[in-house]
Every structure is written in structure tokens, then in C-alpha cells.
Structure 1
């Protein structure tokens, strides 16, 4: 029986398609699949997206270091981790609990209950922070209810002969005002500092929109979905893309004029060092094996244009990914990421070389599919 998916919807935590038979989380702010619900916890919220936003707010408001979990004193120097969480300067950014929590979204095949034992302490700590956030919110709500009750009791003294206020227009006005001054992400009052996106003109707290972009991996407006930029890909950082020229021409291309320090063929040397997998890879926190790859393009106008697109894709970390090598049979190694390269200068298409009359057209289409045109 074919699997039915909810059209145009995906889980906002794991980014996987929502299966039609699944029930969405009771969270009103995010679409979360059943697998990504946080079950068996003492908190009211079961939404990991809400946990991240709430806990970020809690530790910021209470000046708690997300690494050592102690209060940051006013006279202590601080630093920011990769996701801009402020921590003690003496603590290592790599130990940030919130950064580790957001990396859990890469475990797309595991529920929170099935995470390895060495990762579950992250969940326990965030559970404690989320619970304290909810307790503070409940205290604030109780105070507000008490205030409203006192206001209501004072209204009982009003003369019944007083004019009755028409409520329909008043409610409409209040609703419009609340929409205009509330941050759509945290729903709190939109006071300064705040950011207004340049195209769609939707406004958010500075911290909220930064957290949205960092946690979702998408440079999009949370309200309307307008795309402002390309996402970073799964390619490990700190790689190099070196361009040189060789004197051997490529079969199938006429030689065009080139500079005296160049040659008829462009040689690209990619170097990706070994390291630790990040949140966009299959096994975050696990080691991977790097690689050195060479690729070739004709040094003509079309080849130079493709080179420019490849440079942009490399800088945005889309040329490589981490997975299983089909040729070597090894797992957790750096491999190509669906943008085909010519790794030989001869041998034809069957040997990943030239001549191949349609290669430049095909690779441009592959680059266009990733947003590089």
C-alpha cells in the first residue's frame, strides 16, 4: 500500500514529509510529526521547536551559561557560540547545550525516546530549563488573571443606565493592533530592537529571527515563506577549492585565447580535511574521512561560467556531502553531492572524462536545481 503524505507539509523539526496517517502535535505554532514529539516529560510542551525558543529565552533572561549552567555574573566576560548563545568566556563553545539540542534534529530516523544514552543528558537539561520557563510563564499568567479579576469587580459598580459600548468594532481594532505590535515568532510585544525583512516587510525581534534562521537552516520569512537566500549545504566547512591550469587540451573543445599564465584546461583541486560531522550530516558528532578530488573544465567562456557557479556552490557547502562511497564501499566519507564533475581529462563519459558533448549543459542544470544560475 502506498504511503500517503500530507501535501506540501513537512515536520518543522526534522524537515521530513508528514505522513497522512500521523496526527500533528498539539503545538499551535509549529507542525511537528509524531516521531519528533518529546514524550514522557514533566513539561506541558512536547514540541522541540518550542523548547528551543523557550529555553533560549529562559537562559538569556536569567543570564545562565548554556555550557557550565551557572549564572553569568555581570563582571564576567562572555563569548557567543555558533548559534549566538552567550556563555562564559572561559567555557568552550563546543559544550553549548542548546547547540547540541538543535543538532538532535539531524537524527531523522530516531525519536527522542530512542536516542543513544550519551545524548539523553542533553534532553534532561533542556527539560529542566523548559519546565522552569513554563513555571515563570504560569506565574505571569496568574498575575494577569488576578489583575483582570480585580478590574472586572470594579466594573460591577458602574451604573446600569450608562451607555453600552458596541464591542464588535472595538474587538476588531484590538485584534489589528495586537497583530501589528506582536512578534509572530514568540508572540511577545514587538519592542526595539526588531528587524523588518526587506522584501515582505514582516517584522520580528532581532533575537527571534536570528534563532529562526539558525535553527531552521532556512533563510526564509517565518510568516510568508519568502526565500531570502540559499541554505548552507551538508558539505563540511574549512575546505579548499584551488584553481590551476594544465597544458593538455580537452577533446571536443576548440582552444580559445587565454592568458599567458593559463592553459587550455582548468584543473580544480578540492581538499576537504577529516573532521566531525555537523548537524546537517547523517551522524552528528561522529568522525568522517576527508578527501582530495580533482576535476577538469575547458578554459573557454562556458567553462569559466560553470567554474563561477561551482565556486558559489562550494562556498555555500553544496559540492560535497558525507555518506557511503559507491566506489570504495566505505561509510562516513566525503562524497559528491549530486553535482557531477569530470575527474578525468580523457576516456569519455563512461570514465568520467571527455569527450562528452552535453556535460556542460547537464552540470549547469544540476547547479540550477540547487539555485545557482
Structure 2
């Protein structure tokens, strides 16, 4: 954990953790919510909110939207505060972000938007009289906002906000991210700004007694305690690293994705590549000590838990049922247990054919032409306006007939069969409710803005499908 004292009464804490960790001691957490789909989106932080805190959050959110806002465009960059009914976190700050808020062609628009968004969030923190706020690096996930630019915007907003005379009870802002690379960049940026004596921001921001404190994660080396050093869950099977840290199988996947580097805060500065071996704790040894176990979602204490097969995380029966009704995904490490079902009407058709022409950038390959067709119908209870009619659609998309193109085609078929390609929501182009794309981007033209050339499109498409549980 890195600690930055900006003034005698206001500080920044930056660390790597899950925003939904039950041990996170903040009065409010900030999540991003898609401007168009709201809580009907099927990936991202909003879906995890429903899994952890229940569908009542969605009802409160929708009720507040209907009461206070009549037009969707008025919601852009707004922060909608909803109470959880818990002591910690007491509030969820829902930040409304359009999926297309970032464009490489006009980064200034993104900077202006994110500046407004972060300011709105901090204003709400003062307005609700909270003491501490957990804030992730919004818009840098599926939306694709540049990490370095977003960090600069966020820190500028916080430093300027700290100049205000009356911050009420607001004392701490926790910059919490589940990716250590983002945390490292945040710490590096803050340290470079706050530790330089000749830096203009340091001189003019009335930052007194600046200190940077590095706290190492505490390590429990007892072989009888089964605790993941990343998500803090007690588990039966752990990965034992040569640095003596232990991780669940779900977090071990993240370690592999990050170049086999330990995720524990005490190892971040060492940047040491580790070797791991799976280790199962002896149940007979565990009986020698008493560990009072509680569900990591509802925090209630139980004797029996559901143990997830892949990652070995544990949930009580009630939370297991509630979480997996919404999405077949571990709420702690996001490992999927099956493919989620979307809200696309199930009576559509998907066909493809091969055409003897090439797309720009793929001149050595023919072209896969995909045809989607969904007939008109009536919205069901899981749609935004049950009982309301919607018009059918016909859409065409193009892929290169390359090995990666065929791989993407197979994944798109799987996504379509699981009702994930389309959804019923508000169209970004017409601003009307009906069938629309479900944040899996398609090339609907040969060339131009929605076409080719685009050298990284197939890679991005496969990543988007993976984010929807398709791989």
C-alpha cells in the first residue's frame, strides 16, 4: 500500500485489491455503468455489483433515474448514488460512461469528459458526507481508455480538488485497482509529482509534510491457514510461490498473465519472476487451530460453503445461488463457470458465406460475410420495458477469411447461440429503444470508420468476446 498525505486532513492511498473485497474499509465504492444499457449490461463492474450486493441495487438505481432524469443525454458523466443498506460500503457511486467515450482521433474529448466525471464523483463524496471513497481507474478496461492519460487526468482532478476550503468529512480517497500494473503507474505518477521540490503543483497545492509510506503485505507462513494473498479468501488448494506467498488458482491465472510475477504488494518493488507449485493444505492439520469462517460476499458466518471447482473460492449456499443466477462467474477472481446467457431474443438466425474479394490489410485472404437476422417481437420480463414491442433487424458484418478470422467467426457463433451479440437497449446512433449491438464490435463496412484497414481489430474482437465469457 502506498500512502500520500496531501494535507493535514486529506490523503491518497493506492493499492492493488478487488473493489468488492469484504475487507475493504471504505464508506463508498465507485463503479462504471454503461450509459445506454445501465444495469442490463452483462459484463464490467455493474454486473459484479449485482452479484455481490443483490438486484435491489438495480431497482434503486432505476428508480432514481426515472425520478431525477428524463433524458438519457443528461446522464452522461453523472454520478448516481445508491445506498447498499450496509455499514461498509454504505454507498455505491454509479458513474455513467458511454462505451464510445474514447476515440484515438480526439483524445481531448476524452480528457474533457473524464475531468467532468472525476469532479462529479468527488463532489458527490463531499455531498454525501463520507469519510473514505474507493475509486478504480475508470474507463481503462473494456472501453479502452489510455491508462497513462487517465491517471494524469485523475491525479490532476484530485490535486485541484484538495485546494478546496471545505471538504466536510472527506479524508481519504483509495485508488483501488485489481491490476498491479495500474497501481504501479499511479504510485509512480504521484511520487514523481509530490516528491519533486521544484514541481509547480507541489508549490501551489498547499501540500504539507508530504510523505510516501510503503507498507508490505503481511504474510502468514503457517501451513495450516489457507488464505489467498491477493483476494484474501480462505481456500483448500493454494499456489505456494518461492517467495512464500500463497494464491488461489483464480489469482494464479492473473500471475501467469502478468509474466509470472508475484501479486503481493511486498514483492512489487522486487519485480521478481516466481516459480509456483500447487499445494493442498492437510485438513487434519487445519483442525489443530480454530478459524471462524465467514462468506466473503454477505460476511455472515457459516459451517458449510460451496467450493468453486476451478478457483476454490468459497461462498455460502444463498450467495452462491444468487451470484450464479446473475452470471456464472466467481465474484472474487472473475473465473467463468460456463457461458453467460444474454438478453438477445432467442429466435434470430446467423449465417455466413465466403466472398471472393479481400478487405484492406488482408489482401491475401477472401472475406467472410456474416448475416444476422432477428424478427420483431415483444420485450420479456428481463428486458427494459416488458410488454413493449420492438422492430426486427438485419445486419451484415465482415471478417477476413484468415486463421484468426475463422477463430473469431467460431467465437461469434458461440456468442450468438448464447444470446450475447445483440440486446434490447437504447441505440447510440438513433437514441431510441430497440435491438442494438451488445458491445461486441463488428465491422459493418468494407472500409472507413466502421470498416478496414484495422490491424488490431481481430485481437480486440477476441478480447471483447472473452470479456463476455466466450473463449
Instruction: Give TM-score scaled by structure 2 length.
Output: 0.36
Bigger RCO of structures 1 and 2 (CA < 8 A, at least 6 apart): 2
Instruction: Give TM-score scaled by structure 1 length.
Output: 0.44
Larger radius of gyration: 1
Greater share of residues in strand: 2
